[in-house]
Amino acid sequence: MPYGLFAFAVVGVLIITLVGGYIEWDQSSDTDPYASASAYHAFVFPYSVAALVDSGQYWGSMFVGILAASVVATEYRWGTVRQVLIRGQRRTDYLAIKILAISIVSCAMLLTALALGLVISLYTTNLAGEPITLDVPGEPSVPELGLIVARGAWGIIPYGMLAVMLAVVSRSSVTAVTGIILFLFGESVVIALLDGLGGIGSLLQDISIGENVKVLIAANKIGFSEYNSMSLRAQLSPGDAPDANVAALILAAHTAVYAGVAFFFFGRRDVTG
Amino acid sequence: MLAPMESSAPPSVIRTEGLSKRFGRLTAVSSLDLDVRPGRVFGFLGPNGAGKTTAIAMILGLLFPTSGNIQLFGMDARTNLKAALRRVGAIVENPAVYPHLTARDNLRVWGALSGGTTPARIDEVLELVGLRERAKDKPRTYSLGMKQRLGLGAALLHDPELLILDEPTNGLDPAGIREFRELFRAFARRGKTVFVSSHLLGEVQLMCDEVAIVKQGRLIAQGEVGELLRRREAFIVRTTDPAQAVSVLGSLDWVRSVSEGEQGSLLVEAPAERAAGISQALGEGGIWISELRQEEGSLEDFFLEVTGREDGAG
């Protein structure tokens, strides 16, 4: 399972940087200036960092969600969760270690995919005859590039924890994986429906995971640049976006709630799987 | 709370009092009192759905009791579960293995969890459960019996003081069953305890010192195997006049029951030392005996009798 997801991430990186970036830029530079600019910002360093993190956050959430849901629920199916607990492992320790292990594997694979994307970006930037420099409009520093990656990761965590919660509550890998995929795709639809409703609809939209991830991703933009993206969501202009710190706090609250529910259920409920 | 054991006696390895578990309206275990002493092989018997696995899962902390108390090694399982389980090896429902890891790697994982497991100990356990030759194979290629062996290996890995095994002989061939039996007896000879649920009553009779029988979540019999079998002491009697023999024997106060058996024989439940008394009573009644022999009781007979009696009563 993790290897398949990793292969998926690598293919995604190649599509963003090469197909949606360099190749499209090469083909559209004389015909469509807007498409050309979006493609340019998808592969030329350092704009490519924001573009990779945008798509990486979206599909990385799916990656982590599926991995977390299947890893946690599969242990019920195999009965190994029983075997661990009857060896005297505390339930909270077991779940915490499981989440930590999923985090480490997810980080390693997503960062490897990101690194691969950056290598391709540096190569294609050079191929396009552009200088490899941070001296561009917006001028991101190296720590700011790190912050861009951190914001992307922060946007993945609530989905991962939601997947863990679904796996613990349902004790079924099929239910948990289906649930997280439906949530990821369905959330944007629901957010769109809530848009313009006002009142409670507006509040729900403001506190939804997807909307706040959108705010974080908007804060990642280098020089207000549009870029081609594989994420299935509209890009917010940084100037129109609410405070990214508030968005980060709302996402932390989501994570805390899902973790709380997962630990509560796992600690208090019979283990029958 | 369970009252503490008297200081002179070694603490019970497992002790439950009023242990109950309900799933909605279904009572899976009802007021179960068990007392398992150290150094014994203890059989936990019951028909399908009797609540054996539920009781075992509660003892191991997987299910939370609706009411009642559990002590393991004299410690309250609610407050000292982690410490108690460190001294236990168990298989519940079916052996849990990581199918993508080899048998040896499975044992490495479980050994790491228990701590202090050396590669030599893993080799020793693989040898003990007969998996040395297949140690490099993944359990997905194993038969159920081989998975049982691996599960037992995992349970034995940290040399526990108590083995709790739920149907450990499922899927084993007769040689494997015998091997497990000898292994459990040897384990108990070292002063350790085996608590085993099984459907194979003949095997339990050979293996266990003591049994408890549950039905519909309730304990219906518990005792030493020998003692339970003696409870069912009976004679097969053939006479020249069975109808008159029933009348004569039925009038004796030490005869518990007389019933008609196969092909005109009578089944007379009476103490083993009363063979001569039966002969004398029938002789005095002018009834001649063509056969008189003690029926050999089995745990299976006892089990069917007590579980059947419960059906009749219920």
Q: What is the pLDDT of residues B185-223, one digit of tens each?
A: 999 999 999 999 987 888 888 899 999 999 999 999 899
- Length of chain B in terms of residues written: 314
Q: How far apart are CA A11 and CA A116, in angstroms?
A: 10
Interface of A with B in 38-97 (CB under 8 A): 78-80, 82-90
Contact indicator for A157, A251 with CB cutoff of 8 Å: yes
Interior/surface letters B28-57, b for 16+ CB within 10 angstroms, e for the rest: bbbebebbbbbbbbbbbbbbeebbbbbbbb
Smallest CA-to-CA distance from B32 within B228, B221, B303, B217 is with B217
For residue A3, which residues of chain B lie inside 8 Å, CB to CB?
none
Q: Which of A227, A250, A230, A249 is nearest to A238 (CA)?
A: A227
Burial class (CB in 10 A: 0-12, 13-18, 19+), B262: exposed
What is the C-alpha to C-alpha distance for residues B258 and B277, in angstroms, rounded to an integer?
14
CB-based contact B64 A78, cutoff 8 Å: no
* ipTM of the shown complex: 0.79
Q: Single out the residue of B95, B65, B85 nearest to residue B167, CA to CA.
A: B95
Q: Share the mean pLDDT of chain B.
A: 89
Confidence of residue A61 (pLDDT cuts 50, 70, 90): very high
Say if residue A40's pLDDT is above 50. yes
Question: What is the mean pLDDT of the segment spanning B19-29?
Answer: 95
Matching residue, tokens 């350790």: B192
Nearest-angstrom CA–CA distance, A155 and B146: 45
Q: What pLDDT, on a 0 to 100 scale, did the predictor assign at position B314?
A: 36
Using the Cβ of B156 and the Cβ atoms of chain A, whether some distance falls under 8 Å is answered with no
pLDDT band at B261 (very low <50, low <70, confident <90, very high): confident
CA distance B245 to B237: 9
User: By the CB < 8 Å criterion, does A268 face chain B?
Assistant: yes
* Residue B125 CB neighbours (<10 A): 26
Q: How far apart are the C-alpha atoms of B271 and B299, rounded to whole Å?
A: 18
pLDDT value at A227 more than 70: yes
Angle at A60 between CA A55 and CA A66, to 5 degrees: 145
Q: What is the pLDDT of residue A19?
A: 86
Chain B segment 93-122 residues within 8 A of A by beta carbon are: 93-99, 110, 113-114
Q: C-alpha B124: how far from its chain's center?
A: 27
Return the higher-pLDDT residue of A172 and B6: A172
Contact B266, B197 (CB under 8 A): no
Least trusted range by pLDDT, from A49-58, A183-192, B30-39: A183-192
Asked if the model's pLDDT at residue A140 lies above 60, the reply is: yes
Among chain B residues, CA nearest to A85: B62
Query: What distance in Å separates the CA atoms of residue A205 and residue A229, rounded to the nearest whole number?
Result: 22
**What number is the average pLDDT over the span A75-90?**
91
pLDDT at B185: 93
Task: With beta carbons under 8 A apart, name residues in chain A contacting B110.
Answer: 83, 87
In chain A the first and final C-alpha atoms are separated, in Å, by 21
Q: Which run of H or of E encompasses A101?
A: helix A91-127
What is the C-alpha to C-alpha distance for residues A31 and A51, in angstroms, rounded to an integer?
Answer: 23
Which residue of B lies nearest to A78 if distances are taken between CA atoms?
Answer: B96
- Does residue A129 or residue B306 have the better pLDDT? A129
- Higher pLDDT: B209 or A140? It is B209
Amino acid at site B93: E
Residue B22 pLDDT: 96
How far apart, in whole angstroms, are the C-alpha atoms of residue A182 and residue A131?
Answer: 42
For residue B4, pLDDT over 70 is answered with no
The residue of A84, A87, A94, A173 whose CB has the most chain B CBs within 10 angstroms, and thus the best one to mutate to test that interface, is: A87
Instruction: Say yes or no for a CB contact (<8 Å) between B85 and A271.
Output: no
pLDDT at B231: 67
The mean pLDDT value for B14-31 works out to: 95
pLDDT of B2 strictly over 70: no
What is the Cα–Cα distance from B72 to B238, expressed in whole angstroms? 51
> What are the φ/ψ torsions at residue B259 (nearest 5 degrees)?
-140, 160
Span A124-137, average pLDDT = 88
What pLDDT digit, counting tens, does each position of B217-237 carry? Answer: 999 989 998 887 776 678 889
Check the CA dihedral A196-A199-A202-A205 and report its sign.
negative
Chain A CB contacts of B63 below 8 Å: 270-272
Torsions phi, psi for B161 (to 5 deg): -85, -20
Token look-up 């965590």 returns: A157
With beta carbons under 8 A apart, name residues in chain A contacting B92. 79, 82, 86
Most confidently predicted of A198-202, B47-51, B104-108: B104-108
State pLDDT tens for residues B158-193. 999 999 999 998 888 999 899 999 999 999 999 999
Local structure of A17: helix, strand or coil = helix
CB atoms A270 and B85 under 8 Å: no
* A83/B110 touch (CB, cutoff 8 Å), yes or no: yes
DSSP 3-state of B236: strand
CB A259 within 8 A of CB A68: no
- Asked if residue B311 has pLDDT above 60, the reply is no
The CB density around residue B87, as the number of other CB atoms within 10 Å, is 17
Average pLDDT over residues A9-33: 85
The pTM is what?
0.82
Q: How far off is chain A from B146, nearest CA to CA, in Å?
A: 16
- Per-residue confidence (pLDDT) for residue A205, from 0 to 100: 86
pLDDT digits (tens, 9 = 90+) for B77-118: 999 999 999 999 999 988 889 999 999 999 999 999 888 899
Residue B7 pLDDT greater than 60, yes or no = no
- Arithmetic mean of pLDDT, B126-135: 94
Nearest chain B residue to A79 by CA: give it: B96
| C-alpha distance from A270 to closest chain B C-alpha (Å) | 4
CB B269 within 8 A of CB B297: no
Mean pLDDT value across chain A:
90
Torsions phi, psi of B237, nearest 5?
-125, 130
A272 lies within 8 A of chain B by CB: yes
Phi and psi torsions of B49, nearest 5°: 75, 15
Phi-psi region of B74 (alpha: psi -120 to 50; beta: other; left: phi over 0): left
Most confident by average pLDDT, A134-138, A192-196, B58-62: B58-62
The yes-or-no verdict on residue B300 having pLDDT over 90 is no
Mutate to test the interface with B, among A86, A93, A266, A272 (most CBs of B within 10 A): A86
Express as a percent the part of chain B with pLDDT over 70: 94
Q: At what angle do helices B119-128 and B103-114 cross, to 10 degrees?
A: 120
pLDDT value for B198: 87
Question: Would you say how long chain A is, in residues?
Answer: 273
pLDDT at B164: 97
What's the confidence (pLDDT) of residue A229?
Answer: 83
Residues of chain B positioned with their CB less than 8 A from the CB of A86: 60-62, 85, 88, 90, 92
Q: Give φ, ψ of A134 to 5 degrees.
A: -90, 0
pLDDT at position A234 over 90: no
Strand partners, B41: B194
In this prediction, residue A273 carries a pLDDT of 60
- The answer to whether the CB of B56 falls within 8 A of the CB of B164 is yes
> pLDDT-derived band of residue B313, with 50, 70 and 90 as boundaries?
very low
Of B62, B83, B98, which has the smallest distance from its Cβ to A270's Cβ? Answer: B62
Which residue bears the tokens 């081989």?
B146
